[in-house]
Chain A
Amino acid sequence: DTGVSQDPRHKITKRGQNVTFRCDPISEHNRLYWYRQTLGQGPEFLTYFQNEAQLEKSRLLSDRFSAERPKGSFSTLEIQRTEQGDSAMYLCASSFPLWDRGSLRNTGELFFGEGSRLTVL
């Protein structure tokens, strides 16, 4: 399968613990996004990368959240000192940026992983 993969699929943790999620994007995609989704809501933007550069982090995002994409391939999202309000589905997506016309396959489409569901007790 050459789609976006995320690990772990499910994580249950106690309040105050740290958790880390991993995303492996489609290999030729240079843009990678993290979104958070709660029940009945749309994907909420957290942060995104162009290759290894983090272009933006949501202003609404606590300093407890940090993301990296050290070699421009896989990415990790870490949440420190988890709170019950952090419980959600964390979605990763990859794409080509819209301005990259180098690939005829580029449509701007985001390809999502299946998500990592976090439950904080």
Chain B
Amino acid sequence: GENVEQHPSTLSVQEGDSAVIKCTYSDSASNYFPWYKQELGKRPQLIIDIRSNVGEKKDQRIAVTLNKTAKHFSLHITETQPEDSAVYFCARGTSYDKVIFGPGTSLSVIP
């Protein structure tokens, strides 16, 4: 199928701890895996993405890993801060097709 599964649906961490969100997909043609952050009442915004030709990508405190064989990818946020509190969506797509989103993970960072 074309859907994306995402876990956990909610996540609470203490400020300074790490947060990990995992997603799985089944369409083996997928080659593009973006992550979007949506703050309350705002539009989703891209925070990081990864293409299928790499296994890991890092941008400051955020990293994404991809295991194409197992068809799963993960978002890692280190040294979490209160402003990281938001809903995070993983998504998948292909070079020629639409982008499909996961159901989201609500992250709360407790000061």
Chain A interface residues toward B at CB < 8 A: 33, 35, 40-45, 48, 55-56, 91, 97-99, 107-110, 112-115
Instruction: Report whether B96 and A42 are in contact in the complex, using a CB–CB cutoff of 8 Å.
Output: no
Contact A97 to B96, CB < 8 A, known contacts A108-B34, A108-B49: yes
Within 8 A of A (CB), among B35-85: 36, 42-46, 49
Contact A99 to B49, CB < 8 A, known contacts A91-B43, A109-B34, A113-B43: no
Closest to A31 in B: B98
Complex: A56 Cα to B99 Cα, angstroms: 12
Q: Classify the secondary structure of A's interface with B.
A: loop
| Contact partners of B99 in chain A: CB under 8 A | 33, 45, 110
Complex: A108 Cα to B36 Cα, angstroms: 12
Instruction: Report whether B98 and A98 are in contact in the complex, using a CB–CB cutoff of 8 Å.
Output: no
- The 8 Å CB contact of B89, one of A42, A56, A114, is A42
Q: List 14 A-B contacts (CB under 8 A).
A: A33-B99, A40-B104, A42-B101, A42-B102, A42-B104, A43-B101, A44-B101, A91-B44, A99-B95, A108-B34, A108-B49, A108-B93, A112-B43, A115-B43
Instruction: Report whether A98 and B32 are in contact in the complex, using a CB–CB cutoff of 8 Å.
Output: yes
Complex: A117 Cα to B36 Cα, angstroms: 20
| Contact partners of B104 in chain A: CB under 8 A | 40-42
Instruction: Report whether A43 and B44 are in contact in the complex, using a CB–CB cutoff of 8 Å.
Output: yes
Whole-angstrom distance from the CB of B88 to the nearest CB of chain A? 10
Contact A33 to B89, CB < 8 A, known contacts A108-B32, A109-B46, A112-B45: no
Whole-angstrom distance from the CB of B85 to the nearest CB of chain A? 15
Complex: A98 Cα to B6 Cα, angstroms: 23
| Contact partners of B100 in chain A: CB under 8 A | 45
Complex: A41 Cα to B49 Cα, angstroms: 20
Contact A98 to B43, CB < 8 A, known contacts A41-B104, A108-B32, A110-B99: no
